Structure 1
Amino acid sequence: MTTTFITGANKGIGKETARQLIAAGHRVFLGARDEERGRAAAAELGAEFVQIDVTDEASVAAAADTIADAGGIDVLINNAGVEPRLPDNSIPSPVDTTAADLQAVFDTNVFGTMRVTHAFLPILRRSPAPVIVNLSSGLASISMLSDPQSYTHFYQGIAYPASKAAVNVITIQLAKALPEMRINAVEPGYTKTDLNGNTGTQTVEEAAEIVVRMAQVAPDGPTGTYVSKHGPMPW
């Protein structure tokens, strides 16, 4: 049985990914910062709850120890993420964005991804077919973000796109360094979740499809890629 760990999975795309992978026969460790919500989601889905705050080194280390003691994993899905929004749900202006604003977003989206990945690499190395899926975004595509004809061009914020572009770099470099693993970044699409104040245009079921697909990539499958459900994304 393939065993998978998903961060930030008590709701949204992470929770739906857990649901679909369990249906596909995976044993799923559902990671969440909030214990009450995490345990409730795990009980609902038939997953196993693991408390984790990706911004906290000790919490990440404890989660890795817990999962190692439970038998380890084959698949790591770095799903936990944040997007800055103002009280009216608008996106902060670039001219009003500070270094502290960037730091707060990067602590979860970028440093959190690295904290978890680094802690779980020794565990993944024990798997015969290790896989890492990093949740990226269409906003991470610099070529699209700079193209006036692109659907992402309208987005004015700095912190979220910059953080997800950094996740893409992490994906590329780790894939080159670890050719025995399948490591890919996915763009789930503009999804109706709490992350964006439920302004998205697709469902979590639709969004999770590409995450689930890349979580099940074969040992000879793609690595170091950036993909959506429609195919490869431009960097």
Structure 2
Amino acid sequence: MSTLSKIVYNFKNLPGSHSDDFSPSDRQIEFIVNHFRSELASQRVNTKKSTDGFYQEIINLKVEKTKDFRPFKDNVEILRSKSKLPSMVTSHNRGEVIDFIGMRDDFLGFQKTTVHTFNIDLENPMVTELYFTSGDYLYIVSQGRSLIREVYMKAVFSDPREVKIFNGELTLINGMDWDYPLPDNLIGQLNNMIINNEFRWGQIVQPDLINDGKDA
């Protein structure tokens, strides 16, 4: 797995990466790389190829009781993440690309459901915990297990830096010398996607308003 700084350096050596009309900062290059990494991950999910190396973890995602949704059964508890989740990559086949949500030491994770079907899914006597997302929050539906205060989450996120900030591993203005969640053997494919979509670069980048010395 390569560092983000190495991937940004590779971008700068791609044809057309700098011109009189387009000279992105390092942060703007990061936006472009994130965008096409998300597209690549989504394509791999849709074609049933491995996404190992794309995943990031939120090890202790804090949850708390909520009354946002009403269960039909009295012994069912609904929990919501205390914070909004970092944005996730989505695919046509699977929706949000989530590998695991559950208790960290459990072999099997919670079953995926939706805000519209969780009460129906709970009619299955084999189901005790479910999860769904709504409004950028994670919801846990628990039947029979009490005292859930945190869960483990593994997913493909759209902005790896955002996840590291969420986990307290980085601040917004930290540099780029950290492992970027992309397998080394797919960097060439990512670069080809970027080159073949050069006309979209200007639409993807956002203004670089962070004074971090990364403007070149």
TM tier relative to shorter chain:
under 0.3
TM-score of the aligned structures, taking structure 1 as reference length = 0.26
TM-score of the pair, normalised by structure 2:
0.28
Q: Report 1 or 2 for greater relative contact order, CA contacts < 8 Å, sequence distance ≥ 6.
A: 2
Greater share of residues in strand: 2
